[in-house]
Structure 1
Amino acid sequence: MKGKLKCIGLMLAIGLLSSMSAMAQNKQFTLEDLNFGGVNYRKFYPENRYTTWWGDRLIRLNLDYCAEVDKTSGKEKRIVSLDEINKVAGLSGSELVRSLYYAAFPYADKPVISVENSGERFLYNFKTKKVEWRSGVLSTDPGHNVYGDEKQSSEWNSASRATAFVAGNQLYVADAKGNIAKLTTDGSRDIVYGQSVHRDEFGINGGLFWSPKGNKLAFYRMDQSMVTDYPLVNIPEIDWTPKEGQSRIDTPEPIKYPMAGETSHKVTVGVYDLRTKKTVYLQAGDPTDRYFTNIAWSPDETTIYMFELNRDQNDCRLVSYDAASGEKKGELYRETDEKYVEPLHPIVFLPWDNSKFIMQSQKDGYNHLYLFNKDGKEIKQITNGKWVVMDFLGFDAKSHDIIYSSNEANPIQQNIWTVNVDNGKRKLVDESGKGWHNGTISASGRYILDNYQEPTVPRKISIINSETAKCFNYFTAPDPWKGYNLPEYSTGTIKAADGVTDLYYRLVKPVNFDPKKKYPTVVYVYGGPHAHNVDARWHWASRSWETYMAQKGYVLFILDNRGSENRGKAFEQVTFRHLGQEEMKDQMKGVDFLRTLSYVDTTRIGVHGWSFGGFMTISLMTNHPDVFKVGVAGGPVIDWKWYEVMYGERYMDTPQTNPEGYRQTSLLNKAKDLKGKLQIIIGLNDPVVVPQHEFSFLKACIAAGTQPDFFVYPGEPHNMRGHQSVHLHERITQYFEDYLK
């Protein structure tokens, strides 16, 4: 009897464990778990290590301490704490340094950490336990307290310890002693100093450029007084109460927005000398309808280099200027193209030979590295092949190697390579030769921190000796999705509409997939330049929303069509002057592939995308109304004549020179062809795809008698921020649940 009871108890225990195991494997995600902005998001994102280099020493950065990492064992040794810095610096309250995640170690040979609070920079010596220097910009003199909430941009130079910054639209420079020079007096929303210009195109992400030793500052000046205002409106927070005498009415917040074919801004480049206290401007000629980008300094600080582009963006020149006088020294290089040239990277001088520099160009059809002398003579092409250099990481001066990343191994991979400048020999140096690798290099270039993912690897961080190619594991992230019932993620290729080109796709099958069932399918699309969706990261770079939808019984299909990035110039430029047309042809080849899959219900195909993907969503729904039953288009371009000059004219030319292309790609005349259920979603304060696009399409639909749905996020820009992103993806999901399932 006891044995029988014992046996029954064992069976119950086994059954309970099996039930618990089944429950664990059936755990479901919520959008609060998966979506950026969700309350649990960080728990389900692969764990990371935030690091920086101190010379050739690797430093781990944390909220409240920094630790040196042993490059062969991965062991960490704490070297400085946040509390220690704040205590020694005498900081409290609002003056406290809040985090060490953004700390830097600017001097390879000194035990000094650079940190900032709300307005000052500190150099703290963690060996002597002393503050060696503080910026003094926030001094006791109220007249010098010009940072505060007004700071619009700033750039510090570690060599001279000078800071350039913009406050109240004016440009200032503070020297190492805290003496402030006001460089401008005419700054305004019309005259913009020291900030990004040309709407962040051409690789531009700032407007302040220190010389190597910090003795001179180059800066942008943008006159946009001639550019038309676009009328955005500021809507107060819901709990906002106006002060006495203050209007309750929403206030206008117009932006300067140069639309394709219309008057654009004018940019010039100034140079300030800290020693002479004088400013000169580069004598580049009339800036009307010209772009100045990728500013670089010579190592000796005597010369400034920049790429100059005509408005048609088909004639690009590398020009040098005397930094003292602003006079033009010469034109070093010229590249033209029947479609467009797009310079994205400044030149970089060899650290062992200042008479030569490296330049990146797509002139042979793929982005590669070239060696020039300082007079502009091309010495040789350093890399070549039908693949692209994706990032220049730096130099190993001792071995004369360039360290870079490319997709030579596979079009959807990014791996770390070295190439010898002298003999051109290339070497793959990352640990796996697979996956997607992001590298940062030490001061000498001898060591590389390799932070990477593979389709089955959430994250791994290795330390590579670039000279020996030996790798040491530093950190392997646990799988944050372990124990959850996951969909199947896969990838493959199909032929493009040209019948020749391979296109890569990602396929996500529903959780608990049954091949005998028929499933609703959503095509997620972007499709535009400078982006792609499919690569060899974790889960083949699947977006978390795809997993959420797979839980609900959907197939997800994602295809990188021609026109997207990292496949060479011809692949990208096929869309020139008729955006959306070749992209749609390729996406429909994807639909043809879906029709071959027995488990895809071809009567229930939906499409979703944002920005260019929103444009593609409406394009597909109106050009192929019998294929796509439901669509959700976020922030969609409707007519390219309303998009900005730099991006729009690069790919479409102007409405005046390409009227047929603009007519063909406009969605206004497609409003009548809408059949399925379409939801359009925007941020009301979108400064990228301005609301005129969507409002005009709605007006066209009203005239045509078609019925799209519309939802707006008041006060939000092009993408929804914070927890509103969870709300957004709930809304997208529910629309497919209501009309596609």
Structure 2
Amino acid sequence: MYRIVFLFLLFAQLSVVAQTKQMSLEDAIMGRYTHLNPASVRGLSWQDDENYTRIKSDSLVVIHAKTGQEKCLLTTNELQEITNASLRYFPAFNWLKDGSLLVQASGTYFVVNANEKSLIYSIELPEEAQNAVFSEEGKWVAFTQGDDLYVALSDGTVKQITRDGGNGILNGQSVHRNEFGISNGIFISPKGNFIAFYRKDESMVSDYPLVDYMAREAAYTPVKYPMAGLASHHVTLGVYNIQSGTTTFLKTGEPLDHFLTNVAWSPDEKNIYMAELNREQKHMQLNCYDAATGDKVKTLFEETGDTYVEPLFPIEFSKVNPAEFYYLSRQDGWFHVYKYNTEGKLVQQITKGEWEVTRLIGFDPKEKSLFVEGTLDSPIENHIYRIDVKSGKSTRLSVGEGMHRAVLSPGASYVLDNWNGVEVPRKVDLLSANGKVQQNIFEAGNPLADYDLGETKLVTLKTADGKYDLFGRLILPPNFDPAKKYPVVVYVYGGPHSQMVDKSWQYQTRWWQYYMASQGYIAFTLDNRGTNNRGRAFETAIHRQLGILETEDQMQGVKYLKSLPYVDADRMGVHGWSYGGFMTLNLMMRHPEVFNVGVAGGPVVDWSMYEIMYGERYMDMPQENPEGYKETNMENHVTNLQGKLMLIHGAQDATVVMQHSMKFLRECVKQNKPVDFFAYPIHPHNVRGKDRVHLMEKVSQYFFDYL
């Protein structure tokens, strides 16, 4: 008995000792990319409907889903011998439809027979190649070099597709500043016979002056920056025929500055479907074009909105009926899946309700069941669901609160569920299509186990009108004493397409907030109206008046903080970057009686100096909304500034250009308002790498000195 008690006390003491490590600033900034990042599974993918693969001990291993039996397919050394490439570890790969393995290494695409351990063919790209896209069916790789588009064939030949690149013309690259779900500029056809590509003409857009101060003589390095209300670039879509070598451009017409988004090929390669959005972003047409002639065939349907319409997902054609397709849209106020036919007739709305489908995963072979990720259970969780297409009935497959990401097997028999939760750094479960957990494949240890982080709480508040829930995260200092008063640092972002608080590991906490907690500060973050996964009305409430309702919601968080007996209401600070920098300025100057100290990084000051695609969506054009632009211009609120404020900006920032900070600082000087400023040479919109430790040390010290 005494021995048991002794052992219990010993383990209890060891547990206390183990959790006394304090988070250093170096840990907080660099640790997320090194020792504090939860372990993960490399190469997790489906080889076929019954077997999945992963990389173990630098070898590619295949595991049978039902029995769990595994065998080594290919070692790194064997792959090196097959490809003759220099490999330090097993590289990224993809399983192709024919069962072969696609490997990228040393600037070359290798197609390998893993079972026979032989090379089928390879395609070598030039060293300067970028934006590469591989076609299994065509056995080629399309890529850009400079501002032109090329295709490299499996016989070793390289063809130049465009020759007009340069002087403001770019081919095969992302357009519209990566808005509207755009992430690339090359779209390969299903059978590999054609390459569709964006051609961007930005010659009419003014050169925005950036300077490289590190050169012997500072060098002028301008970028094209289309500011709200001014000239925008013009985009067209070309279609290159691999066999004939000819290019046809779709006749998308005028006005030339409208947006071409969500490009999709028909299964027979005869047509291209594309969402076209007017510059005002209030009217979208889903149009069909003849890929051979470029002629517009028809408009299938249209979507309009009083605030804005934002198409984000290309259509996906049915494999059972090629005359039908699936479309993810927010037309009823929430992202849901719709089925249309190619005449534009709505066949069925498959999912419904006040929740968001966040991702369309796939279907079973007969398309009787649809698999999606979404927020049906909670807006701060992401789960995997099987939807009966006919009835719309949903079955949740994922187990455990948290954020789940699915990889569906080719025949939809199984799901690989890669997920994390508040107390789950990372797990990978194998699920059957009916939702039963077949086995746990992987579970990461807790890299924060030795740290005394203090208590982290999820907070649910209400908007001032009581209409919406607002989710926040409160972090108390280690060794918290409820009898003491603690200063608070609010970390804020608050902009569209963001969600800072959810039920992922540690509630998605930034490690810097744990560092500040270790220094005796309460750390707080709240998601306000305008942020993600809450439906169209919640998001678009901020339209034409950015910063107003967001600030109102953040003040609901302040009201809650002030209600806590251990919060020192006379010592409150705020920090944020980009939209968060804009929100920092809003909070500091709209509520100077509350916030004593603020650090605004890369802040938007005047939305008329921000780019067209994002800025005009949320604010309309300056000439259409002069009062809105005036009220949201932070220069017009400098007179209210009372507390200590520091602005930080990257000298090479081409997202929120330095002009924002300069104009704000000039207004502070004119009004004799003391304000601090720091610039980071060579850095763009954010400060990354080891220099980020310097940045966050400066941010932290500002609060240590003045809060």
Quote how far apart the aligned CAs of 1:19 are.
6.8
* Greater mean deviation of Cα atoms: 454-463 or 58-67: 58-67
What is the distance in 2 between the residues matched to 1:342 and 1:360?
11
What is the distance in 1 between the residues matched to 2:691 and 2:70?
38
Residue 106 of structure 1 corresponds to which residue in structure 2? 96
Residue 196 of structure 2 corresponds to which residue in structure 1? 218
Distance change >3 Å, CA 512–CA 101, structure 1 → 2: farther
Q: How far does the alpha carbon of each residue in 1:628-679 deviate from its partner, in whole angstroms, 9 at most, with x for none?
A: 0111111110000000000000000011110000000000122222111111
Residue 298 of structure 2 corresponds to which residue in structure 1? 330
Q: Match for 1:183 among 161, 166, 189?
A: 161
**Conserved 8 A contact 1:672-1:705:** no
Residue 77 of structure 1 corresponds to which residue in structure 2? 71
Distance change >3 Å, CA 681–CA 399, structure 1 → 2: same
Once superposed, what is the RMSD of the aligned Cα atoms? 2.1
Q: Does residue 16 of structure 2 align to residue 48 of structure 1?
A: no
Q: How far does the alpha carbon of each residue in 1:37-90 deviate from its partner, in whole angstroms, 9 at most, with x for none?
A: 34x842212111121222332111368322123424656532112221222333
What is the distance in 2 between the residues matched to 1:13 and 1:401?
54
Q: Does residue 284 of structure 2 align to residue 316 of structure 1?
A: yes
Distance change >3 Å, CA 508–CA 468, structure 1 → 2: closer
Q: Does residue 25 of structure 2 align to residue 31 of structure 1?
A: yes
What is the distance in 1 between the residues matched to 2:648 and 2:469?
32
What is the distance in 2 between the residues matched to 1:116 and 1:347?
28
**Conserved 8 A contact 2:414-2:432:** yes
Quote how far apart the aligned CAs of 1:101 are.
4.2
Residue 4 of structure 1 corresponds to which residue in structure 2? none
Residue 120 of structure 2 corresponds to which residue in structure 1? 132
Distance change >3 Å, CA 18–CA 385, structure 1 → 2: closer
Unaligned runs of 5+ residues in structure 2 are none
What is the distance in 2 between the residues matched to 1:29 and 1:307?
48
What is the distance in 1 between the residues matched to 2:151 and 2:462?
56
Q: Match for 1:521 among 469, 475, 488?
A: 488
Instruction: Specify the SS of the correspondent of 1:307.
Output: strand
* Aligned residue runs from structure 1 range 282-321, under 5 A: 282-321=250-289
Distance change >3 Å, CA 582–CA 75, structure 1 → 2: farther
What is the distance in 2 between the residues matched to 1:12 and 1:362?
61
Quote how far apart the aligned CAs of 1:618 are.
0.8
Letter in 1 for 2:47: W
What is the distance in 1 between the residues matched to 2:152 and 2:483?
70
What is the distance in 2 between the residues matched to 1:723 and 1:471?
42
Q: How far does the alpha carbon of each residue in 1:102-127 deviate from its partner, in whole angstroms, 9 at most, with x for none?
A: 211213x42x3211223221112222
Instruction: Specify the SS of the correspondent of 2:585.
Output: helix
Letter in 2 for 1:675: Q
What is the distance in 1 between the residues matched to 2:309 and 2:367?
33
Quote how far apart the aligned CAs of 1:341 are.
0.3
Quote how far apart the aligned CAs of 1:248 are.
1.4
Taking structure 1 as the reference length, the TM-score comes to: 0.92
* Percent of residue pairs bearing the same amino acid type: 45
**Conserved 8 A contact 2:367-2:389:** no
Quote how far apart the aligned CAs of 1:483 are.
2.8
Quote how far apart the aligned CAs of 1:507 are.
0.9
**Conserved 8 A contact 1:315-1:335:** yes
* Greater mean deviation of Cα atoms: 530-539 or 479-488: 479-488
Q: Does residue 370 of structure 2 align to residue 402 of structure 1?
A: yes
Letter in 1 for 2:395: K
**Conserved 8 A contact 2:198-2:236:** yes
Q: Does residue 691 of structure 2 align to residue 699 of structure 1?
A: no
Q: Does residue 496 of structure 2 align to residue 503 of structure 1?
A: no
Residue 240 of structure 1 corresponds to which residue in structure 2? none
Quote how far apart the aligned CAs of 1:352 are.
1.5
Distance change >3 Å, CA 30–CA 272, structure 1 → 2: same
Quote how far apart the aligned CAs of 1:15 are.
10
**Conserved 8 A contact 1:216-1:272:** yes
* Greater mean deviation of Cα atoms: 339-348 or 272-281: 272-281
Residue 84 of structure 2 corresponds to which residue in structure 1? 90
Distance change >3 Å, CA 73–CA 733, structure 1 → 2: farther
Q: How far does the alpha carbon of each residue in 1:471-530 deviate from its partner, in whole angstroms, 9 at most, with x for none?
A: 421111111111322211111211112222111111111111111110010111111100
* Aligned residue runs from structure 1 range 420-435, under 5 A: 420-432=388-400, 434-435=401-402
**Conserved 8 A contact 1:63-1:99:** no
Instruction: Specify the SS of the correspondent of 1:695.
Output: helix
What is the distance in 2 between the residues matched to 1:13 and 1:356?
67
Quote how far apart the aligned CAs of 1:359 are.
0.8
Residue 111 of structure 2 corresponds to which residue in structure 1? 123
Q: Does residue 58 of structure 2 align to residue 58 of structure 1?
A: no
Unaligned runs of 5+ residues in structure 1 are 1-6, 139-146, 237-246
Quote how far apart the aligned CAs of 1:175 are.
2.5
Residue 418 of structure 1 corresponds to which residue in structure 2? 386
What is the distance in 1 between the residues matched to 2:477 and 2:691?
26
**Conserved 8 A contact 1:74-1:474:** no
* Greater mean deviation of Cα atoms: 251-260 or 497-506: 497-506
Instruction: Specify the SS of the correspondent of 1:591.
Output: helix
Instruction: Specify the SS of the correspondent of 2:677.
Output: strand
Q: Match for 1:603 among 570, 578, 581?
A: 570
Q: How far does the alpha carbon of each residue in 1:131-171 deviate from its partner, in whole angstroms, 9 at most, with x for none?
A: 11011x45xxxxxxxx21x2232111111111111112221
Instruction: Specify the SS of the correspondent of 2:354.
Output: coil
Quote how far apart the aligned CAs of 1:97 are.
4.1
* Aligned residue runs from structure 1 range 149-298, under 5 A: 150-236=128-214, 248-298=216-266
Distance change >3 Å, CA 12–CA 311, structure 1 → 2: closer
Q: How far does the alpha carbon of each residue in 1:663-717 deviate from its partner, in whole angstroms, 9 at most, with x for none?
A: 0000012222211111111111111101110111111111111111111111111
Taking structure 2 as the reference length, the TM-score comes to: 0.96
Letter in 2 for 1:134: S
Residue 507 of structure 2 corresponds to which residue in structure 1? 540
What is the distance in 2 between the residues matched to 1:372 and 1:469?
32
Distance change >3 Å, CA 314–CA 12, structure 1 → 2: closer
What is the distance in 1 between the residues matched to 2:517 and 2:270?
59
Distance change >3 Å, CA 77–CA 14, structure 1 → 2: closer
Residue 552 of structure 2 corresponds to which residue in structure 1? 585
Distance change >3 Å, CA 422–CA 710, structure 1 → 2: same
* Aligned residue runs from structure 1 range 416-565, under 5 A: 416-432=384-400, 434-467=401-434, 469-565=436-532
Quote how far apart the aligned CAs of 1:595 are.
0.9
